[in-house]
Structure 1
Amino acid sequence: MRVVVLGGAGAMGRVCVKDLVASDVGEVVVADRDGALAEEVARDVRALAARPGSTVTAHAVDVTGDSLVDLLSGADVVCNCVNYTLNPTVMRAAAKAGTNYLDLGGLFHGTRTQLALADEMTDAGILCLLGMGATPGTMNVMAALGAGELDEVGSIRLRCGGSDPEPAQAALPAPYAIDTILDEFTMPAMVLAGGELAEAPAASDDEEFSFPEPVGAGIALLTLHSELATMPLTFRRLGLAELDFKVAFDAGMIARYRLVTALGLADTAPVTLEDGTEVVPRSLIKALAGTQRFSGRDIESLVVELAGTKGSRALTVRVEELSYPNATYGVGGADANTGIPPSIAAQMMARGAIKGTGVKAPEEVVPPVEYAAELARRNISIEVHVTQPA
C-alpha cells in the first residue's frame, strides 16, 4: 500500500502521516512545498513504523506544478491536507495519475465546486472522498450512523465543541487557523430550512449547547461548513428538511472576534492609512496574533442530533463523539480528531472497504460501524443514544 500525504509537514498532515506509519502502511510519502521540513517529519516518524519493511520518504512538491502527477502515479491514495482552495487542482492531478483522492473539506462553496467534477472523476475511474477530517468527515459518518436508526429523518443538528485546560493566553485566541476562525465570523452560514438551502448571518443564532462531559456546555454559533453542501443531497430520500451546523466557543472569545469583525479588521481589502501606507487588516491581525495551538491536553467533541421516525414512533437519535489527547502522536484531541480520520479512510479505500468512483461524501460511502471501531482503537469514542420524545 502506497499513500501520499500532501501538506504532510503541516499540522494536520503530520498527524495523518504518523497514523499511516503506525498502521503498517507499506510506503508513506511525506510531500510538502517545504522539502526540508518534509524530510524532518519523515525522519521523526520512522520510529513509529509498525514493521521493519515499511518506508517513509520525503518529497518537495508544488501542487500547482506538473511534477505532482508523477508523484501521485502508482499511489493507492493521496491524502490532500493543503489549503482547500487547491482541492480541484489536486483532484485533477489525481485523475491524471489514476490515484484515489481524499481531502479535509472545501468550506461549502469549494465543496460544491468539487461536486461538479463528478463526471470527470468517474471517467478517470477514481474515487474522490470529500471532507474526511473531523468536521466534515467523522461528523458526516456519525449522521449516517444515526440515520440508520430511523426510517425517516426530518432534522439534523451538527455541533462541534471542545475544552482545553490550558488555553492560550492571548488577547485574540486562535486555537486553530486564524484565517478559518475569521472566515467563520464573516462568511454567511448556510442552513437547510423547509427543505431549501438559505444563507444566515455569520456566527449568529447563539445557542447554549451541552456536549458530553468532560467538554460540557458552550455557546454554539452558525458557521459556514461543508456538511451543508452534501448532506441535504444524501439524506433527501429520508425526508430531511432541516439541517444546520454550529461550532462552540467561550463567551470571551466570541466577544473579541465580533469586535474584530465589526471594526473591519477581518477584511482582506487593503486600507490606506494617513501616511499613504497600504495595510491589509486581516494580514495585520494575523501578524499580531501570531501562531497559537491547543495545549495538547484539549478534548474535542462532535454531536449529531437527528429527529425522525421509526415505523409509527417518533424518535430522537443523539450521536456523541469524544476525541482525547493521543500520547503516541504527541497531539491533543482536536488535532487527533482531524488528522487521524484521513489516514483511516485512506487505508479503507486502499483495501476496498470504501468503494466507488466519482465524487462522494463520507456519509455516502464510509461504513459507519467499521470506521467507528477504527476511531475507538485511537482513543476517539462514538456513542449512539436513541430516545422517544415524551
Structure 2
Amino acid sequence: MRILVLGGAGAMASGTVRDLISIHQEHITEVIVADRLLGAAQALARGMGDDRLRAVEVDCADQAALAVLLAGCDLCINAVPTFAGQQMTIFDACRQAGKPYVDYGGMGVLTVEQKKHHAAWAASGIPAVLGLGADPGISNMVCRAVAERLDEIDRINLFWVAKNFGAPSPVLVPPYSLATLLAEYANPSQQFLDGALRQVPPRSGQEVLHLPEPWGETEFMYTQHSEPLTVPFSEGIRDKGIREFTWKLHLPEHEHRAWLALCAAGFDDYDEPLLVKEQMVKPIDVLDALIRRNIERRGHLVPPTEIHELHLAVGEGRVAGRTTRLNCAVIGAPHPDHAGYNDPATSIGLAIGVQLLLRGGIRPGVWAPEECFETEPFFAELRHRHFRVVNDLALGGSRKSMQKDRGGQFVQEIGA
C-alpha cells in the first residue's frame, strides 16, 4: 500500500508519517511525503531513515501534478492547512482519481461542505473520512462511546484540555496551525442547543470543571469546531433524541493569555487586509512570519514541554428508563515513544484511522469518524500507543459563567 501525504512536512503530518512507518502499521510499502517545500520533505525523510519514505515537491493548486501523484497512491492524506484554501480542490481530486481520502478537519464550515458530496463519493465506490486526528478525531470516538452506553440521549458535552507542566516558554510557539488557532479564538461558533445549531459568540460559554489530577479546576470555552456539526446528526446518536451537543476547549494557560492578548490587539480580524505603508497586508501573514522568525532565532530557548491532555465526553440520558450521567475519556501524557511528535494525539489519531481504513470494511461515502469506525478497535490502537481510555472518569461538579446576550443583559448559559 502506497500512502500519499500532502503537506507531509508539516508539524502534524510529520508525526503521522512517523506512525505510518512504525511497528504498529501493516501493509504499507511506501509513504510519499509531498510538500511545496521539497527541502523540508527531504529533511524529514532523511531524518527518519526509512527506505519506504519518498520526498516529492508539489503545489496542490497544480491539478495536473496532483493527479499524477494520486494515480501512484492507494490512499491520500490531506495534511495541507485548512485555511491554505486547497481543501476542496484536494478532496475533489481524490474522488475523481478514485482514491480514499482523509484529513485532519475543516473547521466545521468546510466539513459541512464536504459532507454535501456524500452521494457522489458513494457512487464512486470510495470512502472519505473527515476530521481524523485528536480534536476532531479522538474526540468524535469518545462521543460515540458515550452514546453507545445510553438508550436515550439528552445531551453530550465534549471537552478538551491541554495543560503544560513544564516551564513556561519565553518564545510563543503555536500548538498547531496559526490560522486554525486564531479562528478558534476569533470566530463565532455553532453549538447544538435545544435541538438545533445556534451561533454563539467567540470564547463564550465559560464553564469550570473539577477534573482529577493533574488537571484540577479547569475553565473551558466555546470555540469554532467541526464536532457539533457532525456528532448530533450521526446515526445512532441523532436517533436517540439528542437535544444538546457542545464543544469546549482549554489551552495551556500561558499560551491562552497570549492568544487573548493578540485578539485584544486586533488579530481577531486576522484575515482582513490592512494598509501598511501603502501595502495591503493580512495581519495573519505578518504575525505568522514574525512568529516563525522568532522561533528560528530563539527556538533554543524553548524548554521541554510536559503536556497532559484530556479528551472528555460527558453524556446525560437514560439507561433502562433510569436517568444516567456517564463519560468516556482518552488521556495522553508524556511518553518516551512520543519523542519526535509535535502533537502525538493528532498525528496518531489520523494514522490509526488510516490503519483501520486499510483493513477494509468502511462503506463508500463521506463520513465523520464516529460514523464509520467502531470504538473498540480504535481505542485498542490508542492503547498500543500509550494513551489511556477511561470510562466514568471521576469528576466534581461544574459551574458556568454568566454571559451577556445581544441586548446586553446577563443570561445563564443553557445547561447550567
Q: TM-score normalised to the size of structure 2?
A: 0.84
Are residue 79 (structure 1) and residue 82 (structure 2) matched? no
Could you say what secondary structure the match of 1:319 adopts?
Answer: strand
Contact 1:35-1:59 within 8 A present in 2 as well? yes
Q: Paired residue for 1:306, among 297, 304, 315?
A: 315
Q: Which amino acid aligns with 2:377?
A: E
Counterpart check, 1:164 vs 2:188: no
Call closer, same or farther: CA 1:242–1:165 in 2, change over 3 Å.
Answer: same
Preserved CA contact (<8 Å) 1:315 1:386? no
Q: Is the 8 A contact 2:162 2:252 kept in 1?
A: no
Pick the aligned partner of 2:56 from 56, 59, 71.
59
3-state SS of 2:214 partner: coil
Q: Quote the offset at 1:199 in angstroms.
A: 0.3
Shift in Å, 1:276: 4.8
Q: How many residues align?
A: 380
Aligned to 2:409: none
User: Deviations along 1:87-143, whole A, 9 cap, x unmatched?
Assistant: 221111111221111100000111011111112212221100010000110110111
Structure 1 residue runs without a partner (length 5+)? 48-53
Q: Distance in 2 between matches of 1:374 and 1:219?
A: 30
SS at match of 2:229: helix
With 286-295 and 65-74 compared, the bigger mean Cα shift is at: 286-295
The aligned residue for residue 50 of structure 1 is none
When residues 29 and 282 of structure 1 are mapped into structure 2, their CA distance, relative to the original with a 3 A threshold, is closer
Structure 2 partner of 1:382 = 389
Distance in 1, Cα, partners of 2:385 & 2:169: 29
Q: Is the 8 A contact 1:8 1:81 kept in 2?
A: yes
Determine the C-alpha separation between the residues in 1 that align with 2:357 and 2:130.
Answer: 13
Stretch deviating more after TM superposition (197-206 or 261-270): 261-270
Give yes or no for contact 1:323–1:337 (8 Å, CA) kept in 2: yes
Partner of 1:6: 6
Answer yes or no: is the 8 Å Cα contact 1:326–1:336 preserved in 2: no
Shift of 1:386: 8.3
Could you tell me which residue of structure 2 aligns to residue 119 of structure 1?
119
1:90 maps onto 2:102 in alignment: no
Deviation string for 1:157-200 (max 9, x for gaps)?
11111121225534866333332222112110111111010000
Letter in 2 for 1:26: T
SS of match in other structure, 1:8? coil
Q: Which residue number corresponds to residue 245 of structure 1?
A: 247
Counterpart in the other structure of 2:350? 342
Unaligned runs of 5+ in 2: 398-416
CA contact (8 A) 1:101 1:128 kept: yes
Q: Aligned ranges for residues 216-295 of structure 1 at < 5 Å?
A: 216-234=216-234, 235-249=237-251, 253-267=255-269, 268-272=271-275, 276=278, 278-290=280-292, 291=295, 295=304
Q: Does 1:26 align with 2:26?
A: no
1:308, 1:315 within 8 Å by CA — same for their partners in 2? yes
> In the alignment, which residue of structure 2 is the partner of 1:367?
374
Pair 201,156 (structure 1): closer, same or farther in 2 beyond 3 Å: same
The question of whether the paired residues in 2 share the 8 Å contact of 1:323 and 1:381 is answered with yes
Query: CA contact under 8 A between 2:188 and 2:199: conserved in structure 1?
Result: yes
* 2:70 partner letter: L
Q: Percent of counterpart pairs with the same letter?
A: 29
Distance 1:295 1:14 in 2: 19
* Change beyond 3 A, Cα 1:2–1:197: same
Q: Answer whether contact 2:5 2:76 (CA < 8 A) is retained.
A: yes
Query: What TM-score, normalized to structure 1?
Result: 0.90
What's the C-alpha RMSD, in Å, of the aligned pairs?
A: 2.5
